[in-house]
Amino acid sequence: MTTNTARTVFLLAHTGRPAAIRSAELVVQGLLRSGLGVRVLAHEAADLPLPPAVEIVSETGPAAVDGCELLVVLGGDGTLLRGAEISRASGVPMLGVNLGRVGFLAEAERDDLDQVVERVVTRAYQVEERMTLDVVVHSNGDIVHTDWALNEAAVQKVSADRMLEVVLEIDGRPVTGFGCDGIVCATPTGSTAYAFSAGGPVVWPEVEALLMVPISAHALFAKPLVTSPTSVLAVEVQPHTPHGVLWCDGRRTVELPAGARVEVRRGAVPVRLARLHQASFTDRLVAKFALPVSGWRGAPH
| Binding residue numbers | 77-78, 82, 151-152, 162, 181, 192-197
For 163, which DSSP code? P
**How far apart are the C-alpha atoms of 29 and 24, rounded to whole Å?**
8
Q: Taking the CB of residue 254, how many other CB atoms lie within 10 A of it?
A: 16
The CA distances from residue 91 to 187, 205, 212, 217, 218, in Å, are: 19, 19, 27, 38, 42
**How far apart are the C-alpha atoms of 13 and 23, rounded to whole Å?**
9
The CA distances from residue 298 to 222, 282, 289, 301, in Å, are: 36, 14, 20, 9
**Amino acid letter, residue 74:** L
**How far apart are the C-alpha atoms of 237 and 250, rounded to whole Å?**
20
**How far apart are the C-alpha atoms of 232 and 133, rounded to whole Å?**
10
Q: Could you tell me which residues are annotated as the binding site for NAD(+)?
A: 77-78, 82, 151-152, 162, 181, 192-197
* Dihedral sign, Cα of residue 176, residue 202, residue 125, residue 115: positive
Phi, psi of 100, rounded to the nearest 5 degrees: -105, -140
**Amino acid letter, residue 128:** E
The question of whether 161 is a catalytic residue gets the answer: no
Of 77, 142, 161, 249, which is the active-site residue?
Answer: 77
For 238, which DSSP code? P
Contact 65, 92 (CB under 8 A): yes
Question: Which residues are designated catalytic?
Answer: 77
